[in-house]
Amino acid sequence: MAAVGLVAVATLSLSGCGGDSGGAPDSKKPAAEQEGGGKPAAADPKGMGLEMKGANGAVLTIDSVQRYEGGVVTVRGEMRNDGKEALNTNHWTGGNDLALKNGYSSSGASLADLKGKKRYYPLRDTQGNCLCNQFHTVFQPGDKAPVYVQFPAPPEGTTAVDFAMPTFGTAPVTITVAQ
**Tens digits of pLDDT across the chain (179 residues):** 333 333 333 223 233 333 333 333 333 333 333 333 444 454 433 333 799 999 889 999 999 999 999 999 999 999 999 999 998 777 677 665 555 555 677 888 999 999 999 999 999 888 888 888 887 778 899 999 999 999 999 999 999 999 999 889 899 999 999 98
In a domain, 60, yes or no: yes
CATH number at residue 107: 2.60.40
What is the reported pLDDT for 12? 30
Alpha carbon separation from 54 to 70, 131, 165, 175 (Å, rounded): 32, 22, 9, 22
Q: Residue 176's closest CA among 48, 5, 61?
A: 5
What is the reported pLDDT for 25? 36
In a domain, 13, yes or no: no
In a domain, 90, yes or no: yes
Alpha carbon separation from 69 to 65, 73, 74, 124 (Å, rounded): 14, 9, 11, 17
In a domain, 126, yes or no: yes
What is the reported pLDDT for 76? 95
User: 98 is in which domain, residue-wise?
Assistant: 31-177
Task: Report how far residue 46's alpha carbon sits from residue 7's, in angstroms, rounded to the nearest whole number.
Answer: 14
In a domain, 169, yes or no: yes
What is the reported pLDDT for 60? 93
Tell me if 167 sits within 8 A of 54, measured CB to CB: yes
Count of domains in the chain? 1
In a domain, 25, yes or no: no
What is the reported pLDDT for 23? 35
Listed in order, strand segments (DSSP E) in 96-143 are 110-113, 118-120, 138-139
In a domain, 42, yes or no: yes
- The residues, ordered by sequence, that sit 6+ positions from 96 with a Cβ below 8 Å of its Cβ are 107, 108, 121
In a domain, 5, yes or no: no
What is the reported pLDDT for 99? 52
Tell me if 168 sits within 8 A of 54, measured CB to CB: yes
What is the reported pLDDT for 89? 77
What is the reported pLDDT for 127? 83
Q: Residue 108's closest CA among 118, 117, 119?
A: 119
